[in-house]
Amino acid sequence: DQQVKQNSPSLSVQEGRISILNCDYTNSMFDYFLWYKKYPAEGPTFLISISSIKDKNEDGRFTVFLNKSAKHLSLHIVPSQPGDSAVYFCAPLSATNKLIFGTGTLLAVQP
């Protein structure tokens, strides 16, 4: 069963505009969520996280929003830059401290 869903396999935005990547999950016990970015031929790198006690966490151009009642989170990147082009994974932390990854969204930022 797919506990973490990223329903948009790909997203294309213009440089300078906002990128919004979405993630839905099914397990209401998840209480810590991470976003990872992955470039080709490299491992995923940690980007930003949010705890369930918050509904928003901001780090520079990156903001993550959490809606626990809807079991939904989103990552906003503004302004988007060509170097942001990568695959983005949503990854809640399970009760046994392992990351459960979504299928990823390929973001392409057009110059």
Instruction: Please report, as ranges, the residues that interact with other proteins according to CB under 8 A.
Output: 4, 9, 34, 36, 41-46, 49, 89, 91, 96-104
Cβ-based nearer residue to other proteins, 15 or 74: 74
Q: How far is the CB of 52 from other proteins (least distance, A)?
A: 14
Cβ-based nearer residue to other proteins, 3 or 79: 3
Q: How far is the CB of 100 from other proteins (least distance, A)?
A: 7
Q: How far is the CB of 110 from other proteins (least distance, A)?
A: 23
3-state secondary structure 46-90: EEEEEECCCCEEEECCEEEEEECCCCEEEEEECCCCHHHCEEEEE
Q: Give which of 36, 42, 35, 37 is closest to 57, Cα–Cα.
A: 35
CA-to-CA distance for 45 and 37, rounded, in angstroms? Answer: 5
**Residue whose pair of structure tokens reads 């790909």 in the numeric block:** 10
Cβ-based nearer residue to other proteins, 15 or 31: 31
